[in-house]
Amino acid sequence: MIRLDQVSKSYDGGRTWAVRGLDLHVAEGEVMVLLGESGCGKTSTLKMINRLIEATRGRIEVAGEDVRDLDPVLLRRRVGYVFQRIGLFPHLTVGENVAVVPKLLGWEKPTIARRVDELLEMVALDPDAFRDRMPRNLSGGQQQRVGVARALAARSRLMLMDEPFGALDPLTRASLQDEYRRIHRRLGLTSLMVTHDMTEALLMADRIACMRGGEIVQVGSPHALMTRPADDFVRRLMETPKEQADRLEHIVQSDDGEATG
Amino acid sequence: MAEETTFQAWWEGVVEQLAASLENLPDYVGQHVLISALALGIGIAVSLPLAVLGARSKMLRWPTLTAASIIQTIPSMALLALFYPVLLGLKYVVEMALRAVGGGEAEAPFSALGFLPTVIALTLYSMLPILRNTVTAITGVDPAMTEAARGLGMRPRQVLLRVELPLALPVIIAGVRTATVWVVGIATLADPIGQECLGSYIFAGLHMENWISVLVGCVLAAALALALDQLIGLMQSAAETRNRRRLAVGVLGLAVLVGGGLALPAVPGRRLAALVRPARAEPGEAPVREPGRTYVVGSKTFPEQYILAHAVRNQLRSRGLKAITREGLGSAVIFRALAAGDIDCYVGYTGTIWVNYMKREAVADPQNVLAEMTWWLADTRGIRCLGPLGFENAYALAMKRRRAETLGAESVADLGPLAPDLRIGGSYEFFGRPEWANLRDAYGLEFADRRQFQATFMYKAVATGEVDVIAAFSSDGRIAAYDLVTLGDPKHVLPPYDAVLLVAPEAARDQAFVEALKPMVRAIDVETMRRANYQVMRDENTKTVDQAAAWLRRQIGLTEEQGEPKSP
């Protein structure tokens, strides 16, 4: 579905490289997670796919077509995009936010209205209660549900997600992660998601691409990355959830002693 | 009993002044709303695209905002006045071009006086707040919003129209709101360049010491600005809260206010005036014989000019011609306006033209001034001088009688050695005129202090001893009222200032118009003019300009009813 071939990006005319010689293939129907610390080039990679920024070198294919041959605007309408800071338009209602892309595509009004309700239901928001509300009256979790609905609105088969659940509290994040997996499977989507959260990556990904310094270090299933890390960096990365669990365990036990003592 | 009668007389005077003001209300309000709305409309239409381009490109933003700021620093009055000569020049160029293309006489299809320069100047004034707010608002839109818009597949135009402008709207409306209050306020200054507006109340009132008129103008202008400010404020808060009903109320209120203002001139002013004043016989006007042409009678900024303009207008109407006045024009503006045909006639003064336009100094023979000027006007400007009205209104240095006697000053020549201990007062215009420079140089006048006054305060200042000498006007009723003496001019530095009826080149060929004016030539002696002037300037039993004009016409035997001299 997406194929990156020796893709590089430099913001300063070639002196430093944000992304360097990247090869990546996202197969149809999978959730691929780009994992790495901030500044490793994962968001730049995502934005090059729908040409929000242009690749300096290399070739990017979406559904078999070189993105450089496509009108970037039409390309973006075809590809769903969920933004890191949610990015709902504050001057539009929930319904109008969801309807942005169908409207751009010139759908009929009744078709758009039906689609909006369908999508709100899909992301577990009651259409009658939420359709006409303004985004500022919604909780963070509700806002990102709308964000996901908006990205899906034009029946995109391909979703690009830039740390979509990063700004949410842990409980909301967990339920949205589950729901997204469900939606992904039901609609047969192909998703490329960027995150720096190891746990999120392990829970959501079919495959993970680990990035460091603008390059991919290893691509593989969560299981493969945990059992056969390519280097120390990947191993340390994969061990973080387990380390955290150990530390939590430690705290729980010492606390237990205090409480009984 | 006596007190009651005085109060009653005073009250009747107030009511009459108010009625006279109300008579003009439909036109003044209508014109004020028209020029303000048009200037703001054009201002918004020009500023918004400029601001959008400015928000996109830094190269464009700086020069645009700087230019708008520079315009803002020009005093409003100067900016308004500046466009008159500019447009006159443009008009001349257009006419030359038309002539070159079509041959023969050609007239540019616009007037350089009044409406056009006003709208241009007000438009320029409206631009800065709209430009600045729009640029700030657009550049201040959260980049996450524009990136989301692009990421969803909006084209640059769609990003602007669907995301940036809606998000910037409250701040843009705030800019329009500021511009509106400015423009409505500054529009009052359009009166001196010949545009009727609420400022016409204020300027006429100041020149005539008619405080009721000043008050009416100020109150109406403030009320208009306030109402617009509130309505636009409502729209602004509607845009902030996305409240459609509030927006609808604001738009509707605005439409009613502007529409009502524009439609107001359809209401006859006399009917409004009749609401406050007791019924009276309307001055008769002959039926209009020539429906097409409306003649414009100009007036400068002092009472005598207002009275004469009204008297001339009434004279034209009594002959069945349509006529209006255009009052309160500056000295420099009015002469050019006549030459350009923006006004059809006004009462000028020989000396003013002699010194200011013919650039002459020495007066070899006072008798020849009129003849020479008449010839010069016809020859160089095509202006026709119909002849003197019969009185002189000269600049004359005047002092309190007792002060002059104590100092032993009988003529300006005596002032020379005394001047370093004396203070002189003059009108705003006087010290800028060549007459003053000529007088000063000829008699070696070096006064201790020099102060500028509005005419009213100038007479009061010499009466109270605040200044010792003033540059008075010889036909002013206040010379006698304040017991002043005028000082002689033995060197004949000052030319004679006979009032003359001047007619624009095109109107001079109009036989009906010229014939209608002729009965006023040599009809007014200086005593009659002084008394008419004093009627509108005295503090008690003050008359309106119309009343004084009617009185003047009765005195010289031109009744309002017929327009033919009464048989003696």
**Looking at this predicted complex, what is its ipTM?**
0.88
Residue B127, CA distances (Å) to B25, B36, B57, B66, B221 in order: 29, 13, 18, 12, 21
The answer for residues whose C-beta is within 8 angstroms of residue B483's C-beta and 6 or more apart is B400, B401
| Half-sphere CA count of B203, side-chain side, radius 13 A | 26
CB contact under 8 A, B149 and A150: no
Which run of H or of E encompasses B517?
A: helix B511-517
Question: What is the number of other CB atoms lying within 10 angstroms of the CB of residue B58?
Answer: 9
> Tens digits of per-residue pLDDT, B516-559?
999 999 999 888 998 898 888 777 777 888 889 999 999 888 87
Mean pLDDT score, B196-201 = 90
Task: List the beta bridge partners of residue B324.
Answer: B296
Q: Does A85 touch chain B if contact means CB atoms closer than 8 Å?
A: yes
Which residue in the set A75, A76, A87 is minimally distant from B144, CB to CB?
A87
Q: Are strands A215-220 and A79-82 parallel, antiparallel or unpaired?
A: unpaired
d(CA A9, CA A16): 9
Residue with tokens 């036909």: B475
The answer for residues whose C-beta is within 8 angstroms of residue B279's C-beta and 6 or more apart is none
Instruction: Give the gap in angstroms from C-alpha A98 to the nearest C-alpha of chain B.
Output: 11
Contact residues on chain B for A71, CB-CB shorter than 8 A: none
Reply yes or no on whether the pLDDT at A73 is more than 50: yes
Cα angle A116-A122-A126, degrees, rounded to a multiple of 5: 70
Strand-by-strand arrangement of the A158-162 sheet: A79-82, A158-162, A190-195, A31-35, A207-212, A215-220
Mean pLDDT score, B218-234 = 95
* % chain B with pLDDT above 90: 38
* B1 SS3 class: coil
Token reading at B439: 């007088």
CB contact under 8 A, A83 and B147: yes
For residues B180 and B229, is the Cβ–Cβ distance under 8 A?
Answer: yes
d(CA B248, CA B525): 62
Amino acid at B29: V
Amino acid at B236: Q
- Counting one residue from A and one from B, how many pairs have CB atoms under 8 Å apart? 49
Q: Does A70 touch chain B if contact means CB atoms closer than 8 Å?
A: no
Q: Does A52 touch chain B if contact means CB atoms closer than 8 Å?
A: yes
d(CA A207, CA A226): 12
Contact residues on chain A for B164, CB-CB shorter than 8 A: none
Instruction: Give the gap in angstroms from C-alpha A81 to the nearest C-alpha of chain B.
Output: 7
- φ, ψ (nearest 5 deg) of residue B148: -60, -40
Contact residues on chain B for A78, CB-CB shorter than 8 A: 153
Task: Name the pLDDT band for B564 (thresholds 50, 70, 90).
Answer: very low
Q: Which of A60-69, A82-91, B295-304, B328-337 has the lowest mean pLDDT?
A: B328-337
d(CA B79, CA A181): 68
The dihedral sign for the CA sequence B288, B500, B520, B28: positive
Cα radius of gyration rounded to whole Å, chain B? 27
> Tens digits of per-residue pLDDT, A160-174?
999 988 878 888 888
Which residue in the set A74, A77, A83 is minimally distant from B148, CB to CB?
A83
Mean pLDDT score, A12-20 = 89
Mean pLDDT score, B183-201 = 89
Contact residues on chain B for A90, CB-CB shorter than 8 A: 167
Which residue in the set A74, A83, A90 is minimally distant from B151, CB to CB?
A83
Token reading at B220: 């109406």
What's the mean pLDDT when you consider all of chain A? Answer: 89
Task: Search chain B and give the residue with CA nearest A74.
Answer: B153
Instruction: Give the gap in angstroms from C-alpha A118 to the nearest C-alpha of chain B.
Output: 19
Instruction: Give the gap in angstroms from C-alpha A159 to the nearest C-alpha of chain B.
Output: 12
d(CA B145, CA B154): 12
Residue with tokens 């035997």: B557
Contact residues on chain A for B158, CB-CB shorter than 8 A: 104
Mean pLDDT score, A20-38 = 92
d(CA B84, CA B82): 6
Question: What is the number of other CB atoms lying within 10 angstroms of the CB of residue B82?
Answer: 16
State the first-to-last Cα distance of chain B, in angstroms, to the nearest integer.
40
How large is the greatest C-alpha to C-alpha distance in chain B, in angstroms? Answer: 93
Burial of B145 (0-12, 13-18, 19+ CB in 10 A): buried
Task: Search chain B and give the residue with CA nearest A152.
Answer: B152
Task: Name the pLDDT band for A210 (thresholds 50, 70, 90).
Answer: very high
- φ, ψ (nearest 5 deg) of residue B130: -70, -45
Reply yes or no on whether the pLDDT at B568 is more than 50: no
Q: Which of A100-104, B122-126, B167-171, B434-438 has the lowest mean pLDDT?
A: B434-438
Q: How far is CA B479 from the centre of its chain?
A: 26
Residue with tokens 């350009």: B340
CB contact under 8 A, B149 and A89: yes
| Half-sphere CA count of B508, side-chain side, radius 13 A | 19
Q: Are strands B384-392 and B498-503 parallel, antiparallel or unpaired?
A: antiparallel
Task: Name the pLDDT band for B266 (thresholds 50, 70, 90).
Answer: confident
d(CA A14, CA A33): 27
> Tens digits of per-residue pLDDT, B406-463?
888 888 888 888 888 899 998 877 888 888 888 888 898 888 888 888 777 888 889 8
Amino acid at B143: P
> Tens digits of per-residue pLDDT, A234-254?
888 888 888 888 888 888 887
Contact residues on chain B for A81, CB-CB shorter than 8 A: 151-152
Task: Name the pLDDT band for A86 (thresholds 50, 70, 90).
Answer: confident
* A10 SS3 class: coil
Which residue in the set B148, B153, B166 is minimally distant from A77, CB to CB?
B153
In order, the DSSP letters of A158-201 are EEEEESTTTTS-HHHHHHHHHHHHHHHHHHT-EEEEEES-HHHH
Residue-level pLDDT at A261: 41
Token reading at B132: 């600045």
Mean pLDDT score, A177-201 = 91
Residue B86, CA distances (Å) to A51, A76, B92, B335, B338 in order: 53, 53, 10, 15, 16
Token reading at B191: 């009166």
Task: Name the pLDDT band for B562 (thresholds 50, 70, 90).
Answer: very low
Buried b (16+ CB within 10 A) or exposed e, A39-62: ebbbbbbbbbbbbbbebbbbebbb
Token reading at B189: 């200054």
Contact residues on chain A for B241, CB-CB shorter than 8 A: none
Token reading at B478: 């206040």
Which residue in the set A73, A88, A91 is minimally distant from B242, CB to CB?
A91
d(CA B384, CA B374): 7
d(CA B394, CA B488): 12
Task: Search chain A and give the residue with CA nearest B168.
Answer: A91
Which run of H or of E encompasses A103?
A: helix A100-104
Contact residues on chain B for A167, CB-CB shorter than 8 A: none
What's the mean pLDDT when you consider all of chain B? Answer: 86
Reply yes or no on whether the pLDDT at B64 is more than 80: yes
Instruction: Give the gap in angstroms from C-alpha B165 to the nearest C-alpha of chain A.
Output: 11
Token reading at A172: 């909301």
Sketch out chain B's domains with CATH numbers: 13-273 (1.10.3720.10), 294-393+497-555 (3.40.190.10), 395-486 (3.40.190.120)
Contact residues on chain B for A101, CB-CB shorter than 8 A: 152-153
Residue with tokens 């030319």: B495
Q: Spell out the SS3 assignment of B523-538.
A: CCCHHHHHHHHHHHHC
CB contact under 8 A, A104 and B166: no
Residue-level pLDDT at A255: 64
Mean pLDDT score, B106-126 = 83
Instruction: Give the gap in angstroms from C-alpha A251 to the nearest C-alpha of chain B.
Output: 40
Task: List the beta bridge partners of residue B423.
Answer: B449
Amino acid at A101: V
State the first-to-last Cα distance of chain A, in angstroms, to the nearest integer.
59
pTM of the full structure:
0.77
CB contact under 8 A, B151 and A90: no
Q: How far is CA B342 from the centre of its chain?
A: 14
Reply yes or no on whether the pLDDT at B399 is more than 50: yes
> Tens digits of per-residue pLDDT, B83-96?
888 888 888 888 88
Task: Name the pLDDT band for B362 (thresholds 50, 70, 90).
Answer: low
CB contact under 8 A, A83 and B153: no
Give helix then strand counts, H and E, for chain B. 24, 10
Mean pLDDT score, A48-65 = 92
Domain A2-260 has CATH 3.40.50.300: yes
d(CA B175, CA A130): 34
> Tens digits of per-residue pLDDT, A128-140?
999 999 999 999 8
Which run of H or of E encompasses A19?
A: strand A19-26
Q: Where are the beta strands (DSSP E) in B328-445?
A: 345-349, 384-392, 395-400, 423-427
Tell me, what DSSP letter sits at residue B411? Answer: B
Reply yes or no on whether the pLDDT at A259 is more than 80: no
Instruction: Give the gap in angstroms from C-alpha A11 to the nearest C-alpha of chain B.
Output: 18
Residue-level pLDDT at B273: 80
d(CA A123, CA A142): 9
